[in-house]
Structure 1
Amino acid sequence: MEWVDDAIVLGARHFGEGKLVAEVFARDHGRYGGVVHAGRKSQPILQAGNVVHAGWKARLSEQLGFFSPLELAEPHATRLLDDPIALAGLSSAVTLVRAALPERQAYPQLYDAFMVLIEAMPQNDVWPALYARFELGLLSAIGYGIDLTRCAVTGETENLAWVSPRTGRAATYDAGLPHADVLLRLPRFLIDPEAQLKSGDVADAFALAGYFLERRLFDQRGENMPEARAQLIQRLGFAGRL
């Protein structure tokens, strides 16, 4: 059993003497672990967020297996070392992928969205909004997506401004206004890529995605939301970027 694929490093841990178990998110194979010899050359490669060209091999498919080769393609983590907020964003995204995705199941569209997010992280005015979209894309990929295409009350596709926390369906501004105290705000940029970001839009997007991540994913598992996500929101808030 073997495959070769492009992958995003999710992390690594020690595994006996002179070895590591690396975890990657491969485009066409999903989240995989494998043994790597822990030489000095391998340590920088295995920084979470780096992109690698990976080969995975095992005698039987259910075995842990090992990576050979594991070659650095893009050192994204290294490029963000001087930007603690971007590093926090990368850490949060990696943590969500590790926590949410089942092992050995491919999510090529989510992989591509993750790559877009990582490549945008040097652009401070761009990536927080992309991050929020990535979270909603992750929910959709694992079957917990919300419907932002039309109003659940009127069927209209314009002027959508709210999301029901109960159904995950959108509502127009007028239809939802009488219930605004219990509805979640829907920032325009989440449904219109050309929409201009307004103050508070990123915060609303984080609140929207976070609500459904918590209720539909982590609560169902009896788990808490990853602390890395809370730390990211805190850092963005202190920097005035929400």
Structure 2
Amino acid sequence: MRLTTPAIVLALRSHGEHGAVVRLLTPNHGLVAGYVRGARGRRMRPVLIAGNLVEAQVSARTDAQLPQISVELTHSRGPLLTEPLPAAAIEWAAALTATALPEQQPYPRLFQALSGLLDAIEAAPSASGWGAALVRYELLMLAELGFGLDLESCAASGATDQLVAVSPRSGRAVSAAEAAPYAGRLLPLPPFVRDGGPAALPDTVDGLTLTGHFLARDLLTDRAESLNEGRARLVERLRRAAGMP
């Protein structure tokens, strides 16, 4: 393997005395992991922050060998780490991507969506500016990995309007009329998920409640318990910001 590519830094795990295994998301080669020499040194630490955009050179002599990676910073999102909510959102989106995706399988739509989410967080650090993008990124992650939700019509009646909930078992939408007898047992379906556009913070929390159920059930199993806990803290911060109980 020899390639030079733009990449988004996702995660870093110490390896050896000064280096680390770094996981990157690339547009055409998907998730790439490799060893970065000096990754924990003073020069490289600010470069290998989750969410940063880098130019990566990846090389390996054989498929069985851990690739060697060198990186140059092209855009830093380090300043956002001083803001608790944006920092938590970037950390979560990067960790989800690093954990859920198989290595070296291209997901160009996910690369573009993650880039867009990070740009939205940078442009409008208030969660009302990027919350909808985070929910859509999680929905896309589910769909790209084969667990997409069916939100086009009601599972019971086939109706395509007044869809207000989702079955936690089937992942299919439910209309207001059909949902009424099952109040409290269905997941919320906020309007922005189907209609597009921005979302108020309470709707963002509802959207994350929806995606969180299916992420935990279908993608983030027991091996990612700590990841689920990190996401729960992010959602709790958003609830407080929205003034929700």
| TM-based fold match above 0.5 | yes
Deviations 1:180-221 (A, max 9, x none): 232111000001114x635621121111111111112234x5
The corresponding residue for 1:175 is 178
Change in 2 beyond 3 A, CA 1:17/1:216: closer
Look up the equivalent residue of 2:151 and give its one-letter code. L
**Contact kept in structure 2, 1:21 and 1:36, CA below 8 Å:** yes
Look up the equivalent residue of 2:240 and give its one-letter code. F
Q: Distance in 1 between matches of 2:201 and 2:107?
A: 33
Structure 1 unaligned blocks of 5 or more: none
Change in 2 beyond 3 A, CA 1:241/1:61: farther
In the superposition, the TM-score normalised over structure 1's length comes to 0.90
Look up the equivalent residue of 1:176 and give its one-letter code. A
The corresponding residue for 1:148 is 151
The corresponding residue for 2:112 is 112
The corresponding residue for 1:25 is 25
Q: Which moved more, 1:14-23 or 1:47-56?
A: 14-23
Same amino acid, percent of matched pairs: 38
Look up the equivalent residue of 1:62 and give its one-letter code. A
Change in 2 beyond 3 A, CA 1:57/1:143: same
TM-superposed deviation, 1:177: 1.8
SS at match of 1:229: helix
After TM superposition, list the pairs within 5 Å mapping 1:1-242 onto structure 2: 1-38=1-38, 39-68=41-70, 70-76=71-77, 78-122=78-122, 123=124, 124=126, 125-194=128-197, 197-198=199-200, 200-219=202-221, 223-224=224-225, 225-240=227-242
SS at match of 1:62: coil
**Contact kept in structure 2, 1:96 and 1:226, CA below 8 Å:** no
Structure 2 unaligned blocks of 5 or more: none
Deviations 1:57-83 (A, max 9, x none): 000123111113x1111102x130331
Change in 2 beyond 3 A, CA 1:181/1:11: closer
**Contact kept in structure 2, 1:95 and 1:226, CA below 8 Å:** no
**Contact kept in structure 1, 2:34 and 2:69, CA below 8 Å:** yes
**What is the Cα-based RMSD across aligned positions, in Å?**
1.9
**Contact kept in structure 2, 1:95 and 1:228, CA below 8 Å:** no
**Contact kept in structure 2, 1:34 and 1:67, CA below 8 Å:** yes
How many residues in Structure 1 have an aligned counterpart in Structure 2? Answer: 238
SS at match of 2:153: strand
Q: Which has the higher helix share?
A: 2
**Contact kept in structure 1, 2:201 and 2:242, CA below 8 Å:** no
Change in 2 beyond 3 A, CA 1:120/1:241: farther
